[in-house]
Amino acid sequence: NALDAQKLNAKFATLTADSSCTDGDQACVNGGFAQCSGGKFQVTACSGGTSCFALPLVNKAGTSLTCDSAADAAARMTAAGVDGG
């Protein structure tokens, strides 16, 4: 899960609101939570002091997208066994 989250975060770092996407896709774009509609991402900003990250799920396979502080996101990735996010 942690490696999958790392890969997603690396991919998300290359996206912009104008990046092409498939309707229904979800991503983190420019630090906000984004959903694809009409082939473009609609970005919702995270609350103050947080950014959007893909994080590993703990109790089952997969990842989740959530707004979190950079420090907490890094700690979760480290706890999951990987360095960096």
CA–CA–CA angle 75, 48, 6 (5° rounding): 35
Indicate yes or no: pTM above 0.85. Answer: yes
CA–CA–CA angle 7, 75, 28 (5° rounding): 40
In the chain, where the domains are located: 1-79
Q: Please write the tens of the pLDDT for every residue from 15-32.
A: 999 999 999 999 999 999
Give the pLDDT score at 82: 87
Structure tokens at 70: 């950079």
Q: Please write the tens of the pLDDT for every residue from 42-73.
A: 999 999 999 999 999 988 999 999 999 999 99
Query: DSSP 3-state assignment of 1?
Result: coil
